[in-house]
Amino acid sequence: KAGVTQTPRYLIKTRGQQVTLSCSPISGHRSVSWYQQTPGQGLQFLFEYFSETQRNKGNFPGRFSGRQFSNSRSEMNVSTLELGDSALYLCASSLAQGGTGELFFGEGSRLTVL
Amino acid sequence: QKEVEQDPGPLSVPEGAIVSLNCTYSNSAFQYFMWYRQYSRKGPELLMYTYSSGNKEDGRFTAQVDKSSKYISLFIRDSQPSDSATYLCATYPRGYSTLTFGKGTMLLVSP
């Protein structure tokens, strides 16, 4: 069974640009969550999607957005990039919203903003 | 104060040692507790999951929860170099909203 797939794995952008990250969940998983991981703040919750609807949102500015498609694949977008957006962005999938906490993570997309 | 506190380490131990990793949390609404392991350049993977206070054992790993003191621990017996990773504790309240993670403790096990 294939795991969670995130693309691209690495990318470099400059301030002011925008970026789109993609996540394909495990087959059959309908919930997709996004996290930002930095050395200073650790893992911080961005948002969760279930059945194409955003169910929860973390405390991030509106420059961070996402969506989920009918096949459960998800994308997140960051507009007007800032240096502080440099981080590892992790996608996690689970069978259903509000599961047992067992999230299956992808390997992440490492974003560097110059 | 962050809701979940965890010493970042690194914690360096020799192979075969017993390792103790700890977290404290401040929100008494947290009811479910997990430990995730994250290898370098990989995403976190669930290691242990527990609800009640007390101990839960799985092979060389034991998770311990003390809700009265809001303290959770992960013990690793007979540690191996392959255990070298960052260990993240995570928790969520009844009714589930989102997971709250600690920042992680880096463990280094030397041969």
- Measured between beta carbons, the chain B residues lying within 8 angstroms of A108 are 43
Q: Each residue of A5-40: pLDDT tens digit?
A: 999 999 999 999 999 999 999 999 999 999 999 988
Question: For A82-109, what is the mean pLDDT?
Answer: 87
pLDDT-based confidence at residue B97 (cuts at 50, 70, 90): low
Identify whether B14 is preceded by a cis peptide bond (ω within 30 of 0): no
A96/B contact by beta carbon, under 8 A: no
Residue A106 has pLDDT above 90, yes or no: yes
C-alpha distance from A64 to closest chain B C-alpha (Å): 18
C-alpha distance from A102 to closest chain B C-alpha (Å): 7
C-alpha distance from A10 to closest chain B C-alpha (Å): 11
Contacts of A42 by beta carbon, 8 Å cutoff, 6+ apart: B88, B101, B102, B103, B104
A12, A30, A32, A42: which is closest to A106 by C-alpha?
Answer: A32
pLDDT-based confidence at residue A82 (cuts at 50, 70, 90): very high
B47, B44, B4: which is closest to B23 by C-alpha?
Answer: B4
- Tell me the Cα Rg of chain B: 13
pLDDT-based confidence at residue A99 (cuts at 50, 70, 90): low
Residue A54 has pLDDT above 70, yes or no: yes
Who among B43, B45, B103 is closest to A108 (CB)?
B43
How, if at all, do strands A64-68 and A74-78 pair?
Answer: antiparallel
A103/B contact by beta carbon, under 8 A: yes
Alpha carbon A75 to its chain centroid, in Å, reads 7
B75: β partners: B20, B62
A32, A50, A51: which is closest to A89 by C-alpha?
Answer: A32
Higher pLDDT, A104 or B2: A104
Specify the amino acid at residue B89: C
Q: How crowded is residue A15: how many other Cβ atoms within 10 Å of its Cβ?
A: 11
Residue A88 has pLDDT above 70, yes or no: yes
Element (H, E) at A97: none
Between CA B90 and CA A100, with CA A76 as vertex, the angle to 5 degrees is 30
Chain A residue nearest residue B6, CA to CA:
A42
C-alpha distance from A70 to closest chain B C-alpha (Å): 22
Q: Residues A33, A48: contact at Cβ < 8 Å?
A: yes
- Among A11-25, B34-48, B86-100, the range scoring the smallest mean pLDDT is B86-100
State percent of chain A over pLDDT 70. 94
pLDDT-based confidence at residue A77 (cuts at 50, 70, 90): very high
A92, A93, A61: which is closest to A77 by C-alpha?
Answer: A61
Q: Do A107 and B43 touch (CB under 8 A)?
A: yes
Contacts of A5 by beta carbon, 8 Å cutoff, 6+ apart: A23, A24, A106
**Three-state secondary structure call for residue B69:** coil
A26/B contact by beta carbon, under 8 A: no
Interface of B with A in 33-72 (CB under 8 A): 34, 41-46, 49
